[in-house]
Structure formats: C-alpha cells, structure tokens
Amino acid sequence: MISPDSTYLGVDFSTQQLKGVIINNNLQILHETQVQFDADLPEFRTHGGVVATEDGHTITAPTLLWVKALDLLLDQMKLAGADYMNITAISGTAQQHGSVYWQRGAQHTLQSLEASKFLHEQLARSFSTPNSPVWMDSSTTTQCRQLEQAVGGAQ
C-alpha cells in the first residue's frame, strides 16, 4: 500500500555520469544529485566516462566505476538527508549497449550483501572482466564482418 510519505528513487546511468532523484507523491523533487565519472571518480582514469585503446577500437568502462558511482550517489543523498525507509519504488535507466559480465557464482555474493558496506567493496570480485564494452566499442568489427559473410550478407 502506498503511504502519503512514500518516495520514489530514479537513477540514470549515462556514458559520462550517474544522476539520481528522489520525488514524493506530489512529484516534488526532494533530493537530486549526480556523479560525474571523470571528475568524481578520477582513480578510474576515464575520459568522457570511458577508456579507449590507442587505436580507438576498444572502448570500455571500468565495471566497478558504475558500482562505485552508485555508492557515491546514494551516500551523497543520505548525507543530504534522504530517508531511504520511505522509498516505495526504484526506477532505473542506463546507456544502450553497455555489457556487464557476472562471474560464475556471483549470485552468492548478492545473497549476502551487507547494508553497512559499500557495494563496490562487496562486488569487487563478482565480475568476470574488469572492463565493460560500451556502445562506442568496435573491437569486434572483423568478427562481425566474418559472420555477415558466412550468412550471406548483413540482411
């Protein structure tokens, strides 16, 4: 049942940032913040939210960058007074074509998460690759062309 005190959290992961907003039943914004990947998480050494190889074909984002950005965003909102106990629903959007690959057995980590610890600390060993290909990656162009040729063309 929806309470008059219900609030709603929305998060949006884009290539360069994470935005978050908490609204109430009257659609009033109670909390709003953002995490700029390059500026707020410099330890990942991204440019425009990604890491590119010199040839420009392999373009990825550090997988833990996204998790740490979520930690930072939620922590900033909490420090600003956000009350997570009243959140009734969460909505999320994310960039197209960003792939995250789970490590075999990672579901056990999800089953034992601790609220007192940051997600990036708990999920650090849950991904099978440290870098996630994003929509700008073209490192598999050769393989894609081979597949197209094998099936008689792009159509």
| Residue range of the domain that includes 32 | 7-150
Can you list the positions of beta strands (E) in the chain? Answer: 7-13, 17-24, 29-36, 51-52, 59-62, 87-94, 131-133
Task: Out of 88-97, 108-117, 143-152, pick the least confident.
Answer: 88-97
- The verdict on residue 122 lying in a domain is yes
Q: pLDDT tens digit string along 70-111?
A: 999 999 999 999 999 999 999 999 877 789 999 999 999 999
- The verdict on residue 63 lying in a domain is yes
Confidence of residue 1 (pLDDT cuts 50, 70, 90): low
What's the token pair of residue 6? Answer: 């219900």
Mean pLDDT for 46-52 is 97
Mean pLDDT for 59-65 is 97
pLDDT at residue number 16: 96
CATH of the domain at 144: 3.30.420.40
Mean pLDDT for 32-44 is 99
